[in-house]
Amino acid sequence: MNDEGPSSRRLRWLYMASLILAGDSIYLLVYMRQSFQTSMHEVFEISYTQLGIMNSMYGLLAITAYFAGGWLSDRVATRTLLSFSLFATGLGGYYMATIPSYPMLLALHAFWGVSTILTFWAALVKATRLWGGSDDQGRTFGILDAGRGLVGAVMMTAGAWVFSRSALAADGLVDVILLYATASMAAGLCVLAFIPPDHAHGSLTHSDNSNAPAGQLRVVARMPAVWLQALIILMAYWLYLGSFEFATFAEKVFDQDKVFGASLSAFREWLRPVSAIAAGFLADRIRASRAVSIAFITSAVGYGALALIPGRADLLWMLWIQISAVAIAVFALRGIYFALMEESKIPLLVTGTAVGLVSTIGFTADVFAYPMVGWFLDNYGPATGYQYYFSILAGASVFGLFLTLTLGWQNQRGKPREQ
């Protein structure tokens, strides 16, 4: 790409900037609970369990959409899929701002499971792969994830500021919903403006064999490393979702206000780009499995400390330290857990199928994590409920460490045979 002129380079980076904006803006509405859970609980007049079921409905639709989304992304133009997804998600946000009933919120989150996964996720990955060259895919996806983290931090900071401007929680929440919905719509316009048609960059389809997907799935299903990685990602993603509870934890257990909770979530998000990039460099130096193991150990210590820390105002400094440690760990995990595929020598020919299988299993935490924490809060209260839940997450960190050590041992054992 060194022969590109300034204009071509500018358009190329506008292409990536559009993907970055789209890749995070579309999920702001779906994951609002990480900053505004208590406000949603009050404004929508629903219990924490119902709030968890609402997000679980999204997770159920999303899990069923990963494989189908990959099939769809090879048959419909990437720009069309991305722009449709962003506009549809944004329109759903405008409807959410009318404060609909609980059944309609369930339907809305099911709809978002389609618009943010079926017609979006695989298309985003495809567009990113087309942007990068064959020898710089790691850097390409690193830029995407770090950029998404930066966009998320900016938008969550803006959301916290918008929320703080309103005297009533209901007004503030509606303003935040409108902000996030408009961000999704704006990202859709950027996609239409700066992402060219697929044929301008070639195709990812290299075979007309209609039986290839089934054959590749059989090959992937026979690989123990794939199943280990699926479980590792399941643990890592569950730990990441657990970090969404930090705002509510600070509000309910440490008796802080909603603005503090939203600001805490924004601070957590600012750690994402730095953590992902640093973890990537570390993984290149010491192997991905070792870096993942370090992140699991950090997460276990952090969640264990959060389960034990008393909810006293004079211990807020400890809360910041533990939340920072957990956030760095979970964002590091998200940044590098797919790098385990290269270490495990998953054949390039079946990479897409492997990612689909791993994602389907690994992201099932969207289905059970929210109802679980909602049940703990409703039945035991915030202080005891979070003590139990964070203890479980500390145990999940230890199990993730065991899985990672097993995978690393298996990879090392397989080296002599490969050589």
Q: Looking at residue 199, what is its pLDDT? A: 42
Give residue 239's pLDDT band: very low, low, confident or very high (50, 70, 90).
very high
Give residue 1's pLDDT band: very low, low, confident or very high (50, 70, 90).
very low
For 59, the token pair is 């997770």
Q: Looking at residue 19, what is its pLDDT? A: 93
Rg of the Cα trace of the chain? 21
Q: Looking at residue 417, what is its pLDDT? A: 42
Report the C-alpha gap between 253 and 279 in whole angstroms.
31
Higher pLDDT, 256 or 125: 256
Q: Looking at residue 361, what is its pLDDT? A: 87
pLDDT for 174 beyond 70: yes
Report the C-alpha gap between 412 and 116 in whole angstroms.
38
Phi and psi angles of residue 172, each rounded to the nearest 5 degrees, phi first: -65, -40
Q: Which of 51-60, 70-79, 82-91, 252-261 has the lowest mean pLDDT?
A: 70-79
Integer angstrom CA distances of residue 245 from 106, 190, 241, 266? 20, 32, 8, 13
Q: Which of 70-74, 277-281, 372-376, 384-388 has the lowest mean pLDDT?
A: 70-74
pLDDT for 249 beyond 50: yes
Give residue 233's pLDDT band: very low, low, confident or very high (50, 70, 90).
very high
Q: Quick one: which of 209, 196, 241, 238 has its CA closest to 34?
A: 241
Give residue 124's pLDDT band: very low, low, confident or very high (50, 70, 90).
confident
Q: Which of 41-55, 259-273, 313-327, 334-348 has the lowest mean pLDDT?
A: 334-348
pLDDT for 386 beyond 90: yes
The whole-chain average pLDDT of the chain stands at 84
pTM of the model: 0.75
pLDDT for 225 beyond 70: yes
Higher pLDDT, 224 or 210: 224
**Other C-beta atoms lying within 10 Å of the C-beta of residue 286:** 12
Q: Looking at residue 346, what is its pLDDT? A: 74
Residues of the chain with CATH 1.20.1250.20: 9-196, 216-414
- The whole-number average pLDDT for the span 25-37 is 87
pLDDT for 122 beyond 80: no
- As a CATH number, domain 9-196 is 1.20.1250.20
Q: Looking at residue 305, what is its pLDDT? A: 95
User: Averaging pLDDT over each range in 44-48, 323-327, 349-353, which range is the top one?
Assistant: 323-327
pLDDT for 211 beyond 50: no
Q: Quick one: which of 256, 266, 254, 262 has its CA closest to 164?
A: 262
Q: Looking at residue 266, what is its pLDDT? A: 80
pLDDT for 207 beyond 70: no
- Give a three-class secondary structure readout of the chain: CCCCCHHHHHHHHHHHHHHHHHHHHCCCCCCCHHHHHHHHHHHCCCCHHHHHHHHHHHHHHHHCCHHHHHHHHCCCCHHHHHHHHHHHHHHHHHHHCCCCCHHHHHHHHHHHHHHHHHCCHHHHHHHHHHHCCCCCHHHHHHHHHHHHHHHHHHHHHHHHHHHHCCCCHHHHHHHHHHHHHHHHHHHHHHHHHHCCCHHHHCCCCCCCCCCHHHHHHHHHHCCHHHHHHHHHHHHHHHHHHHHHHHHHHHHHHCCCCHHHHHHHHHHHHHHHHHHHHHHHHHHHHHCHHHHHHHHHHHHHHHHHHHHHCCCCHHHHHHHHHHHHHHHHHHHHHHHHHHHHHHHCCCCHHHHHHHHHHHHHHHCCHHHHHHHHHHHHHHHHHHHHHHHHHHHHHHHHHHHHHHHHHHHHHHHHHHHHHHC
* Inter-residue contact 110 to 30 (CB < 8 Å): no
Phi and psi angles of residue 404, each rounded to the nearest 5 degrees, phi first: -70, -40
pLDDT for 419 beyond 70: no
User: Averaging pLDDT over each range in 116-130, 147-161, 212-226, 275-289, which range is the top one?
Assistant: 147-161
Q: Looking at residue 208, what is its pLDDT? A: 45
pLDDT for 103 beyond 80: yes
Q: Which CATH class is domain 216-414?
A: mainly alpha
Q: Quick one: which of 209, 228, 217, 184 has its CA closest to 91?
A: 184
Q: Provide the residue type at 206 as one letter.
A: H
Give residue 418's pLDDT band: very low, low, confident or very high (50, 70, 90).
very low
